[in-house]
Chain A
Amino acid sequence: MKRRNNDSGRLERLLADGWKAGGGARPDDLWQAGVMARVRAAAATPEPAWSNGAGRLALRISIAAAAAAAILVAWTLAGGLIPYEELAMKALDEPLSMIIGSPFV
């Protein structure tokens, strides 16, 4: 058993050494040209709005606002401020006032 454990430890080290040596792939001029072609293509593509500073800020604010709205709705319903039935009827009868009216009527 001890012998097997020692062998396993040695084998693990040999395999790790083989792994560390890598697969032998090397960069060459063709590879470098390929990278630069992709980099130039990326430079020519306009940056998506969400990836720049202002875009990221707007995205974060939107997510926070959506989360706050969801919490408010859950709190309103759970607290019994508006019964489900009344809410449903209001939505069916007067969808416009439902949207623009106060939620606490």
Chain B
Amino acid sequence: MTDERTAQSDEEIIGRVLGGETDAFGRLVERYREHVFRIVGRRVPRDDAGEVAQDVFVRAFTSLGRFEGRSPFEHWLSKIAVRAALDYWRERYRSREAPMSSLSEDHREWLEKSLADDSASSFEAAESRRLARDLMMSALEGLSPADRAVVELVHLEERPIAEAAQILGLTAVNVKVRAHRARKRLRDAIERMRDAAGA
């Protein structure tokens, strides 16, 4: 991958695409698809991740003329990916789709075992991560889309407030206030899950 990068920089490929070589965009998709899936895959349900990731690249393509090159293409694309996930939740929030199902027996068991002193879990590591992710996604559903995006950036990915503000197009003060308020809501939601599971 490093060889390919040195062979042709992002800027060179972008220049070709803007010059009319649409298929050259495929090089950028290949180069950054894992990166975009990492961002989107955390934020939206697994079944929808592929489509949202496609949206990210289509948006990037249609906005490519506005890419000024002041920051690396990867950063610019990350911003589009975070905003695409935010739009995904805004759409769901508007249409008031049914929230995730309540805790399954596996989720309850995972909560109990995770909080037990002997942390030796009967779950395989991958299965354990999947259940943990389901529970976090369920807790996040109680937040507004914007608060959710702030919590994901600031608390879960531990990005600086200024960076989160820049990505979301908000002021740093706004992000700080939202982050504080939303984290409290998230903690309350996790507590409620604990209580529901009797853990």
Q: Which residues of A contact B (CB under 8 A)?
A: 7-8, 10-12, 14-27, 31-32, 34-36, 38-40, 42-43
Contact = CB atoms under 8 A, between A and B. Distances in A.
Nearest to B48: A25
Contacts of B22: 39-40, 43
Contact of B58 (A11, A16, A22, A39): A39
B53 A23 contact: no
Nearest to A41: B58
Contact of B136 (A18, A25, A43): A18
Contacts of A35: 29, 33, 53-54, 57-58
Interface string B8-51: 00000000000000110110011001100110111011100110
Given A22-B41, A35-B29, A8 B129 contact: no
B87 interface: no
B52 to A, nearest CB: 10
Contact of B133 (A7, A12, A18, A40): A18
B33 A21 contact: no
A21 B129 contact: yes
Instruction: List the 6 closest pairs (A to B, CB-CB), nearest first.
Output: A18-B132, A23-B46, A22-B41, A25-B49, A18-B133, A15-B136
B111 interface: yes
Contacts of B186: 12
A42 B59 CA distance: 9
A23 B41 contact: yes
The prevalent SS among residues of A at the interface is helix
B139 interface: yes
Interface of B: 22-23, 25-26, 29-30, 33-34, 37-38, 40-42, 44-46, 49-50, 53-54, 57-58, 61-62, 111, 114-115, 128-137, 139, 152, 155-157, 186-187, 190-191, 194
Nearest to A7: B115
A26 B36 CA distance: 10
A14 B114 contact: yes
B195 to A, nearest CB: 11
Nearest to A23: B46
